[in-house]
A = this chain, B = another copy of it.
Amino acid sequence: MSALRPLFIVAGIGRAAGTGAAAARRFSKEGYSVALIARGEDSLNALSDEIKKGGGEAAPYCIPSYSADDITSAFTSISAQFPNSHYALRAALFNVGYAVWKPFLEVTASEVQESLSTNVAAAFAFSRSAILKFKENKLDAENPKRGTLIFTGATASTRGNKMTSAFSIGKFGARALSQSLAKEFGKDGIHVAHAIIDGQIMTGAALERSRDQPLSGLSPESIAQAYMYLVNQEKSAWTWELDLRPAQEQW
C-alpha cells in the first residue's frame, strides 16, 4: 500500500444487514475508508454512523435511483470528499440487486424494465465510474494492482429457472459484463471478479425465519471474507469467478 489511504466504494446496502454492509464493515476494519451508495437513506446513514463510531472513516451517498446519471454524480461527490491527494480507490463492490420470483406470465413489463435497469444498466454505469477511477491510480512495484471490482452474483446468474425469468435476465447480464471487463482490463492491472452466491444470505429477516436451524444459509461476513481475499489476490493468480454456498447446501 502507498501512503494514500485505500478507499472502498460499495453500492447496495439494503437494510444494512446483508452483504454490502458486511463488506463495508470488513473493509473498514482492514483500514479502508468506505463510501456507501444506496437508495434507502436511513439504513445508509445508520451504517455510516456505525462505522464512524467504530473508529472507521465512512460517508453515505444517497441516490434517488441507480441511473447512470445518479451513479456518476455519486462518484463525483465521492471524488470531492476523498481526493486523490490523500485517497486511492482500491476496491469497489456492486452489490445492488433487484429480485423477482414469479411465474413468467405474471411478470409485468415494468418488472422486466426494473430488473434490467437495476441489475445490468446500473452495473454498467457503476463499472464505468469505478474503472475510470482505478485508472487514476499509478501502477508501480508497490502497487502492481490498480484496483478490484467485485459483483455479487446469485444462483440466477448461471441458471434460468421456473420462477426466475425476470431475475435471471438481469443476473446473467451482470455476469456477462463482469467477464467482459475481466478480460479487457486485466492487462491494465484492474481485477474484476464475480461471486456466485448460491444459497440464501442470512440477513436479518432470513435469520429470524431460521431460528431453529442455525447456519442454514450464508453469513454476510463469510461473503465479505471472500471479497477481501479477492482484493488481496496477487497479480499472478486472479480469480474471475468463484461460487459460495453453505457447507450443507443441496446443489
- A contact set with B: CB distance below 8 Å: 68, 103-105, 107, 109, 112-113, 116-117, 120-121, 124-125, 127-128, 131-132, 145, 156, 159-162, 164-166, 168-187, 189, 191, 202, 215, 217-219, 221-223, 225-226, 229, 233-251
Contacts and interface: CB of A to CB of B under 8 A. Distances in A.
Copies in the complex: 4
B176 A169 contact: yes
Chain B CB within 10 Å, residue with most, of A171, A175, A236: A236
Given A109-B121, A132-B105, A172 B183 contact: no
Given A104-B181, A169-B176, A172-B176, A233 B222 contact: yes
Contact of A116 (B120, B223, B235): B120
Contacts of A103: 184
Q: Which 9 A-B pairs have the closest CB atoms?
A: A160-B179, A222-B237, A160-B180, A165-B180, A242-B242, A172-B176, A168-B176, A172-B172, A169-B173
